[in-house]
Structure 1
């Protein structure tokens, strides 16, 4: 018996993302991905670094950091004001899975370097203040993060005969 089989493998890019939340709580993401997404103007097409820290059993609660950096911009230091469009940061705290809290940037700086041939984005988030305004009471956190994310690799092979 023979059949055609197409083999496809997607690998998650390797990387690291670690630092502190509010100056004392460690953040150490074990899953770090770099992809490309399209956002409405003026942000446009962007490199997107996604980092997830998963907590211990039994809840395995997660904390997730997403950074998007407009494609084509030079490696530099960028301001993280609420209306900045070059770099966007969101942070999801799922410590209480029934009541996740999503934070967006208020202030701080992002020092970013993108190396195109290697598809690597790395840098630091310095004195980043994020806020949540879902309730009447404003919540905020401060992040100090360093990261290195490599783009995903997709490998496929042509159909082959298997006996």
Structure 2
């Protein structure tokens, strides 16, 4: 059964690592739904969070292939344990002054925030699960989205007792 997998990959912070990892996915025919990369808790190492879809054997195959790359230190399928996932979206929406109270109601409902106000637009920042971000984007589409930028998912496992 196909499901969503969130994979954490600890890599050496070297030029070309992202290209090699994404190339591996492309060559093997695996789709990347989102990928984020940033510094990790250890100097010289970066953490990639890759969201992909496939059955459990596909996820296992991805893990094995990633370990073959020289700069990959550790691969963990975060989907196997309880985890926290977050995504940030910046949404520039048409907002004539007469519609702003209505739009602000949507923003408040999602615990999002307005981070910029222009003459005819608002920029909304939404933080949460991908489903939450999808939902606010869908609601704001009715007002007209001028621009949308999403970070992709970042995640980590929850602390176990």
Q: TM class, shorter-chain normalised?
A: under 0.3
In the superposition, the TM-score normalised over structure 1's length comes to: 0.24
Higher helix proportion: 2
Give the TM-score, by structure 2 length.
0.24
